[in-house]
Amino acid sequence: MTLPSTEFLLVAGRAVFLVFSFIVASISFTAWRRSTRRQTAEVLSQTQLVLQRLAELEARVDATRVTVTALGERLDRPSTAAPTASPSPGYQIAIRLARGGASREELMSGCGLTLAEAELIRRLHGPRTAELRQVS
């Protein structure tokens, strides 16, 4: 048996090295493609989540815009229950009665006032009693 020549061994060694390098490159390329696909899937799922949250925020902004518009319209409209410059006739009668010395019950029944209103009108417009003069 004859030994193969050195040149043949070098060529065979190069061929084995090239085949081995090709196998390593193909395994690396396949792993790289899998990794890229996995990362792409993750990015797509995160993008879907961001889009969903953005849609929710848009809905909230639209609802807030509608509410602010309604509030703005309410502020722009003149109020129907605008305060009058003079008290109503019922209060004027109650004030006159209180100045004349009417009791709370008379103010409540005669003018349709509540207990608190009648008491306030008596205190503000009624005659000063001896008790009030001593306190002040």
Nearest residue to 92 (alpha-carbon basis) of 81, 83, 100, 82: 100
Judge whether 70 and 79 are in contact, CB under 8 Å: no
d(CA 6, CA 11): 9
pLDDT recorded at residue 38: 97
Residue-wise pLDDT for 67-123, tens only, equals 999 898 888 887 655 555 566 777 888 898 899 888 888 888 888 888 898 899 999
Q: pTM for the complete prediction?
A: 0.41
**128 — phi, psi (to 5°)?**
-75, 130
d(CA 57, CA 65): 12
pLDDT recorded at residue 55: 97
115-125 vs 104-111: helix crossing angle, rounded to 10: 120
Judge whether 94 and 107 are in contact, CB under 8 Å: yes
Residue-wise pLDDT for 15-69, tens only, equals 999 999 999 999 999 999 999 999 999 999 999 999 999 999 999 999 999 999 9
